[in-house]
Structure 1
Amino acid sequence: MKRIFLTIFFVILSVFIYAEPSSNEEKAINHFNDFRMELEQFSEPNLILEKISNYEQNLYSQKEFQDFSSETKLILENMIFLEKVKNQVKLIENDKTAKKALKEKFSLQIDKTAKTILDLQNSNKIPSKWLFTNQGDLISFSLQFATLSQAIKSGLEVKTYYEQAINQDATMSFALVNLGMWYFYVPSIAGGDKEKTYQYLKKAVDSAKTLSEEYFSKIIYSQILFERENFQEAMKVLQEAKKICPNSIAIQTMEKLNNAEISWIEYSTNPKKYEKILKD
């Protein structure tokens, strides 16, 4: 009986093929996240977009990139796309036509990624944790263009993508951060849980394997600590992140807000309300 069970188990296991990214592919993904961290020291959207464009051209011209799997190419494409859009949005704040065009671009990118995930699954392959995280990030950012009903539906979908990434790698720092923040922003009646936010963010910090993972997890974790009124620990964690990226605009913003007894999370829900504090 035991032998039959083990045979069935290994047959099931062999049906689903998970291909780890090659060392060069993993290196390229980590390198882009380090580049994202470097961009944190700039505030001018046009300058940032120029730097992203130069990075993109250089990446696509490398011989190693041509050897990457189509999945890894899409992962990098999504990461670059999202970083571009974050800055493009700042330039078209009052342009409804441009916003509509950007919304359509987002829909296409989300659909493209969803199709790739489905195609991989239909081929008995498990999509990469990075692709699941990509899709969660894309949908999360696109919610600002969505109607309330769309946002509720898509918001629940976001959670499943981050969970699938974490199921594949329980120490994936970026997915842990983003799932933690999902629990923070979602109302408790819909599954939100600020204690889970704290737990996921703490684990994200403890699980960080690269400097960019440590930086991004610590700046958010510091603000969760601030929200919990653990001000001393919040300051300590933020200063640790500052040692990694000393000229970070995000950290400068957080320091100003925290000195005024406001968390960055509170600020992010209504930036205009706190503009004066940041200008002083």
Structure 2
Amino acid sequence: MPLYVPQNLPAIKELAAQGIKIYSDIPQGVKPLRILLLNLMPIKQVTESDIARQLSKTDLPVELILVKIRGQKYKNTSQEHMDMFYRNFDELASKQYEGMIVTGAPVERIPFEDVRYWKQLTEIFDWSRTEIGSAVYLCWGAQVGLYHHYGVPKYDLPKKLFGVYKQELMKQNLPIFRDIPSVFNMPNSRYTEVRKSDIDKVDDLEIFAWGAESGVGIVKPKNRSEFFVMGHLEYSPTTLDIEYRRDLDRGLDIDMPENYYVDNNPDKGPDYSWRKPADAFYSNWLNYYVNKK
């Protein structure tokens, strides 16, 4: 079944060039699963395509609804794009939705409460617990979700964790991990972390994935359909490369992403080693947690 997105969203043409068909018009009689994407990433179009790509790989009809926080200004995405394709959260809050995805944001080094949209963000998080069937929080979105709901702090890393790192499934007894091997790869791109010692203090939280180099990978509350993912399974093969070359162009002190390029050579392109786990994760999420019909 197809994925439906806002009319004329650039991701439609981009994914069509990759052989992935997504649509805008929902046929009469079709009731898709409605997924909110709270996109806090700086380059919105990249994230739109990454998420749409993952949500298109299922037999279920899915509608992707792009969400923004009213009054925010954007440095890397035009206001025209935001006004055309995104809806303000307060226009949506009167309805219930089947799922929500919260992305990361380039504000990791700022204390949570000092982020300019902190109040609105916490309102969305609180609302989601009664109006959303299941939620996935990514990278900084996962860190801020754990902090708001459970008081789990974040810590600065000595340097940016940037590359693709092995994750070990600590438990495989949940449907979301079906067809995911006990050891799998996941991209990471972050300056901060949450720590196992803090999560272990919260009785309601369980760590399901862990990496020797990257630390906590995936956390889930025992009695809620929420997933806090510290990395980026949704990333396309080229997203880390785009970030790396962008930072080089800005003159930033950035290391080449680890375990990412074939033979560690950027000229040889990326090794898309996380594709199958990513496909399984999002397909399982939609089939077993979002689809309650």
Normalised TM-score (structure 2): 0.34
Structure with a larger share of its residues in strand: 2
Q: Which of the two has higher C-alpha Rg?
A: 1
Normalised TM-score (structure 1): 0.35
Structure with a larger share of its residues in helix: 1
